[in-house]
Amino acid sequence: MSLRFVVGRLLQALLTILLLSVIVFGLARLSGDPINLMAPMEASPEDIATIRASFGLDKPLPVQYWYFIRNAAEGDFGRSIKWDRSAAGMLIERFPATIILSITSMLFGLLLALPVGIWSAVKRDTWFDNVGKIVALAGQSMPTFWFGILLILFFSLYIPLFPTSGYGIDIHLVLPTVTLGAFVAASIMRVTRSAMLDALEADYVRTARSKGVPEWRVILVHALKNAAIPILTITALQAATILRGAVVTETVFSWPGIGKIAIDAVYGRDFPLVQASVMFMGVVFLTINLLVDMAYVLLDPRITYLRK
Amino acid sequence: MTVATSTRSGFLSVMLRKIGTLSFLLRSAPALFLLLVVLMAVFADLIVPFDPSQQDLGNSLVGPTWQHIMGTDSLGRDVFSRMVFGSRISLIVGTSSVAVAMVIGVVLGIASAMIGGTTGEAIMRLTDLSLTLPGILIALAVAATVGPSLTNVILIIALLYWAQFARMARGEALSIRERDYVQSAYAIGCSPWRILRVYILPNLANTIIVLATLEIAAAILLESTLSFLGVGVPPPTPTWGSMIAEGRPYVELGWWTVTFPGLAIMLTVLAVNLLGDVLRDRLDPKFSNRR
């Protein structure tokens, strides 16, 4: 991995964050005057002017943007209007809940997708493969929120096995994990299947078979090892997808992560919090993408990202 | 695709081979289903047995009966009628947002390829940047700030999806431009416009159609998510996503309020995805993933 590649990708990530900050900043100004939401009804024009000045909203736009960027770089996105607390602090406080849900979902997704994907490739064009294909496609076409509500309906209302919502590192995790895990399992399953098909047709697999290696070893060691790169790549890419799915899943299950906070902030027109959460998730998202790109190059020396 | 030289026989495998010969039917099923959805949307007024916004509080949350084949919601509105009208929003938003995205993307992508230089690079950098933005959050924030409306939802989705088209159009245009017959056309003095019209656009069409189909599926899903979160097309217009959101508090009393609109979303998106796969095999064999 060349230094030039790393520096280039870092610069690109920084540029994206800058673009994101312009969008986020612009949005808040598009939405009308946030002062009207903050000031009490009986506030006099002088009071409003004071509040405005205290938030720096009386300055020209470029100056306001500069303040925004400067503070954001220091991790200061202002205070949540609704909770009167540091917006960044609230996000950091809620982030572990999202991380926990993402990890369990990813594990669930992999546990579901890998065996099914491998077995589909081995049993290519049989009923198992065909059913798997249809289920995976249906899973990719299904709205996450709907699947979550159906799970609540069946497994906590009709058969009261799990709580409908709420936070806890126990049975509270089950339904959100299944919802979000199924969301990523479909893509991983499809990639696993096609990577394994390629690997199973390769010469080294035929060699392994002809020298009498047991079939399970051929599949799980010889073929799977060589199918690993595409599977790892899609898994890493799904990490970013999970973050997107988390927004919806957390809303359905009232899971107190950053997705839930973001949605609540949007509903409550709590702009400092909206700005902070979009920026926060954007940075997490970009970091994951950056790591994936680098891991990709490290894993597969055939990829060099050199321009022609 | 080679048929597995399976020596197994017996009822099950015979049955399953029969299903294999049904694959032709399966391949045309998505298109037929979509045709049905389109007809439903176009002739919604003629099909529906009830006015979709007609409330009937005496008949709220009635399960499926002959009169209300999909039951009624918490306000006594007919779920089937609302679902039929909801198909309009899904199809309109799905197709027009992708159409807008396609125009923006193809124009910028080809421009970047034909102009080249710093401008071309700048366009591509912008494309790369917008591909890495966290889409759904931006959509949410935009919808919440500029206010939800049909036009806004279409524009938001278009602004999130144009970059895919730009990247693909540029890549294709660059490779088409290098082909011998295009180079010959240059050499005999063809104008760039003519080259664009006669060689590049027609060669690009297939790839773009396939991509557009797959993007429509994604756009319908995103629209339903935005509607579910309350930042889509505002009420009283029925949308599949908002029907699920409205039915959710009463789901234990009426599974039908949530189940049917969700099925509608899933089947429509699935059909569009399958159609995209079929089109890809037909029009764009180099990206075929048929195995």
Predicted pLDDT at B92: 92
Angle between helix B117-131 and B150-177 (nearest 10): 130
Give me the phi and psi of B19, to 5 degrees please.
-60, -35
Give residue B182's Cα distance to chain centre: 33
Write down all domains in chain A, each with its CATH number in brackets. Answer: 3-73 (no CATH), 88-299 (1.10.3720.10)
Q: What is the pLDDT along chain B (291 residues), one digit of tens a residue?
A: 444 444 445 666 666 666 666 666 667 788 888 898 898 888 878 887 777 777 777 777 777 777 777 777 777 787 788 888 889 889 999 999 999 999 999 999 988 888 877 888 888 878 877 776 777 777 877 777 777 788 888 988 898 889 889 988 888 888 888 888 888 888 888 888 888 888 888 888 888 888 898 899 999 999 998 889 888 888 888 899 888 988 888 877 888 888 888 999 999 999 998 888 888 877 766 554 444
Chain A residues within an 8 Å CB radius of B265? 142-143, 146
The answer to whether B132 contacts A285, with C-beta atoms less than 8 Å apart, is yes
Per the CB < 8 A criterion, the answer to whether A308 and A241 are in contact is: no
Give residue A23's Cα distance to chain centre: 20
State the nearest Cα–Cα gap between B1 and chain A, in angstroms: 10
The answer to whether A267 contacts B291, with C-beta atoms less than 8 Å apart, is no
Residues of chain A short of pLDDT 50, as ranges, are 306-308
Phi-psi category of A59—alpha, beta or left, where left has phi over 0 and alpha has psi -120 to 50?
beta
Chain A residues within an 8 Å CB radius of B142? 27
Chain A within 8 Å of B251 (Cβ-Cβ)? yes
Residues 108-147 of A with CB under 8 A from B: 124-127, 130, 137-138, 140-146
For A285, nearest residue in chain B (alpha carbons): B134
Chain A residues within an 8 Å CB radius of B244? 143, 145-146, 149
Nearest residue, CB atoms, B266 vs list A19, A125, A142: A142
State the nearest Cα–Cα gap between B283 and chain A, in angstroms: 21
State the nearest Cα–Cα gap between B40 and chain A, in angstroms: 20
B82 secondary structure, DSSP code: H
Predicted pLDDT at B1: 41
Predicted pLDDT at A108: 93
Per the CB < 8 A criterion, the answer to whether A34 and A22 are in contact is: no
Nearest residue, CB atoms, B273 vs list A125, A141, A289: A141
Per the CB < 8 A criterion, the answer to whether B221 and A143 are in contact is: yes
In a 3-state reduction of DSSP, which class is residue B72? strand
Chain A within 8 Å of B259 (Cβ-Cβ)? yes
C-alpha torsion angle, residues B218, B223, B225, B231 (rounded to 10): 150
In a 3-state reduction of DSSP, which class is residue B78? strand
Predicted pLDDT at A308: 35
For residue A255, what are the contacts with CB-CB under 8 A and spacing of at least 6? A97, A101, A165, A166, A167, A176, A249
Nearest residue, CB atoms, A149 vs list B129, B248, B269: B248
Predicted pLDDT at A307: 41
Chain A residues within an 8 Å CB radius of B225? 143-145, 248
The answer to whether B129 contacts A16, with C-beta atoms less than 8 Å apart, is yes
Neighbours of A60 (CB within 10 A): 8
Cα distances from B153 to residues B144, B169, B260, B263, in angstroms, run 11, 25, 23, 22
Predicted pLDDT at B14: 65
Predicted pLDDT at A41: 64
- Burial grade of B93 (CB within 10 A; 0-12, 13-18, 19 or more): buried
User: Is the ipTM reported for this complex over the cut 0.90?
Assistant: no
Chain B residues within an 8 Å CB radius of A15? 125, 129
Chain B residues within an 8 Å CB radius of A148? none
State the nearest Cα–Cα gap between A147 and chain B, in angstroms: 8
Q: For residues A186 and B20, what is the distance between their CA atoms, to the nearest angstrom?
A: 23
Of the candidates A282, A249, A271, A304, the one whose C-alpha atom is nearest the C-alpha of residue A108 is: A249
Residues 3-42 of B with CB under 8 A from A: 3-4, 12, 16, 19-20
State the nearest Cα–Cα gap between A182 and chain B, in angstroms: 14
For B133, nearest residue in chain A (alpha carbons): A282
HEC string of chain A equals CCHHHHHHHHHHHHHHHHHHHHHHHHHHHHCCCCHHHHCCCCCCHHHHHHHHHHCCCCCCHHHHHHHHHHHHHCCCCCECCCCCCEHHHHHHHHHHHHHHHHHHHHHHHHHHHHHHHHHHHHCCCCHHHHHHHHHHHHHHHCCHHHHHHHHHHHHHHHCCCCCCCCCCCCHHHHHHHHHHHHHHHHHHHHHHHHHHHHHHCCHHHHHHHHCCCCHHHHHHHHHHHHHHHHHHHHHHHHHHHHHHHHHHHHHHCCCCCHHHHHHHHHHCCCHHHHHHHHHHHHHHHHHHHHHHHHHHHHHCCCCCCCCC
Chain B residues within an 8 Å CB radius of A194? 289, 291
The answer to whether B291 contacts A197, with C-beta atoms less than 8 Å apart, is yes
Chain B residues within an 8 Å CB radius of A280? none
The residue written with tokens 């979160």 in the block is B229
Residue A68, both tokens? 């925004």
